[in-house]
């Protein structure tokens, strides 16, 4: 059986960035205009006024200071409050595929291998911009990859589920190398008029090349992968192809991201801690001896708690990598950005953990050892 290796990773960061203050100013301008428009109903007690957002709250509750986005102007315009992304013709590369290709090219350049050695492309992300043809097939075509390609969506856990799928393809001989791309335009399914969640997400794309060890110069041996899902309505998005069939109309708010953030926090953190420790024991890895955690980036307090329990001490910032201060939650890409940015100091034989968790619920653990 072939040994799968993470041979290289790549990152594409959209050029626009929005600070908490900028986002809150736009949100509060919208709130001011809304409350003025409904002043009579509010004064009569028929309607509750909208409450302002706060940059201090956002940083304290989440650890987020800014986020990269594909279009800043639309999001910050109180009359628009969504990214403005013009439609492209069918002859142009779609925007999601374009981001994926840019991240993939970064990974390919770091790998130094041949595109002709890649046998499959998986686009693993929390939303595809169309049902078909698959974004992955468009990426495959743009890069000139042979073999096959398909899309998969496991929300924030898409990347680890994609890596596990790729690793299984390598082990079984279905492919010698697999490209996994995670293009995330989270701003496209975020309700920027919702005070509880308008600050949570950002846009980015990551790429991971999983290859047979014979095709990797160095890289990271995948010691083991484990996936878990458990149904929950606490993170949900009801957007879909049947929306137009509802006789009662399409509605609005729940066709974007909605969550019960507190419940998610309470339920997901223990699930993930148990999963990591059980998987480490199964692999004969001492969790306290892990050099680094590259966790999903949703909330700094979640990561602090998971890091403390897994390592059995207060982790240093080097041990428990945080990138959500700059990127916010980028869904599936978060743990891969952390891995991509903070692994160059590993010596051969040192071990770390890539771990995702999110909607579904879903969680994935990928233990890796520097080779």
Q: Which residues are catalytic?
A: 156
Judged by beta carbon, residue 82 or residue 195, the one nearer ligand CO8 is 195
154 binds ligand CO8 (CB under 6 A): no
Range 301-308 contact pairs with CB under 8 angstroms and sequence separation of 24 or more: 301/61, 301/62, 301/63, 301/265, 302/265, 302/268, 302/269, 303/63, 305/269, 305/273, 306/269, 306/272, 306/273, 306/276, 306/355
Binding segment for ligand CO8 among 114-122, 195-203, 205-213, 220-228 (CB under 6 A)? Answer: 195-203
30 binds ligand CO8 (CB under 6 A): no
Structure tokens at 329: 């939650």
34 binds ligand CO8 (CB under 6 A): no
Shortest Å distance, C-beta 261 to ligand CO8: 3
126 binds ligand CO8 (CB under 6 A): yes
Q: Are 163 and 208 in contact (CB under 8 A)?
A: yes
Q: Are 170 and 4 in contact (CB under 8 A)?
A: yes
Judged by beta carbon, residue 215 or residue 353, the one nearer ligand CO8 is 353
66 binds ligand CO8 (CB under 6 A): no
- Sole binder of ligand CO8 in the list 329, 335, 351, 365 (CB under 6 A): 329
Q: Which residues contact 133 (CB under 8 A, 6 or more apart)?
A: none
Binding segment for ligand CO8 among 53-61, 146-154, 216-224, 273-281 (CB under 6 A)? Answer: 53-61
First to last CA, the chain: 18
62 binds ligand CO8 (CB under 6 A): yes
- Using CA atoms, how far residue 78 sits from 42, 84, 132, 338, in Å, is 20, 13, 33, 32
Q: Which residues bind ligand CO8 (CB under 6 A)?
A: 53-54, 57-58, 61-62, 126, 155-156, 186, 189-190, 195-196, 199, 201, 235, 257, 259, 261-262, 264-265, 298-299, 329, 331, 358-359
């Amino acid at each position: 059986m072939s040994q799968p290796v993470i041979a290289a990773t790549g990152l594409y960061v959209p050029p626009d960035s929005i600070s908490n203050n900028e986002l809150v100013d736009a949100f509060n301008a919208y709130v001011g205009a809304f409350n003025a428009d409904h002043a009579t109903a509010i004064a009569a007690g028929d309607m509750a006024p909208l409450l302002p957002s706060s940059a201090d709250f956002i940083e304290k509750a989440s650890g987020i200071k800014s986020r990269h986005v594909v279009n800043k102007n639309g999001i910050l315009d109180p009359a628009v409050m969504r990214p403005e992304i013009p439609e492209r013709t069918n002859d142009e590369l779609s925007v999601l595929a374009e981001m994926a290709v840019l991240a993939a090219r970064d990974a390919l350049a770091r790998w130094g291998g041949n595109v002709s050695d890649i046998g499959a492309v998986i686009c693993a992300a929390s939303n595809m911009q169309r049902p078909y043809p698959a974004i992955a097939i468009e990426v495959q075509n743009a890069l000139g990859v042979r073999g096959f390609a398909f899309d998969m969506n496991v929300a924030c856990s898409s990347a680890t589920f994609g890596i596990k799928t790729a690793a299984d393809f390598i082990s079984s001989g279905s492919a010698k190398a697999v490209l996994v791309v995670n293009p995330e335009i989270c701003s496209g399914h975020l309700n920027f008029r919702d005070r509880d969640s308008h600050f949570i997400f950002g846009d980015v794309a990551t790429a991971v090349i999983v290859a047979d060890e014979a095709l990797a110069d160095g890289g990271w041996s995948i010691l083991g992968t484990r996936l878990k899902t458990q149904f929950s309505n606490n993170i949900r998005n009801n957007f879909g192809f049947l929306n137009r069939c509802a006789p009662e109309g399409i509605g609005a708010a729940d066709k974007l991201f909605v969550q019960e953030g507190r419940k998610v926090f309470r339920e997901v953190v223990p699930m993930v801690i148990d999963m990591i420790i059980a998987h480490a024991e199964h692999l004969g890895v001492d969790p306290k001896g892990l050099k680094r955690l590259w966790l999903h980036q949703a909330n700094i307090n979640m990561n602090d708690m998971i890091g403390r329990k897994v390592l059995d001490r207060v982790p240093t910032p080097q041990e428990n990598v945080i990138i959500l201060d700059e990127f916010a939650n980028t869904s599936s890409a978060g743990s891969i950005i952390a891995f991509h940015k903070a692994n160059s100091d590993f010596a051969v034989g040192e071990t770390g953990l890539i771990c995702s968790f999110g909607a579904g619920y879903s969680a994935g653990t990928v233990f890796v050892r520097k080779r």
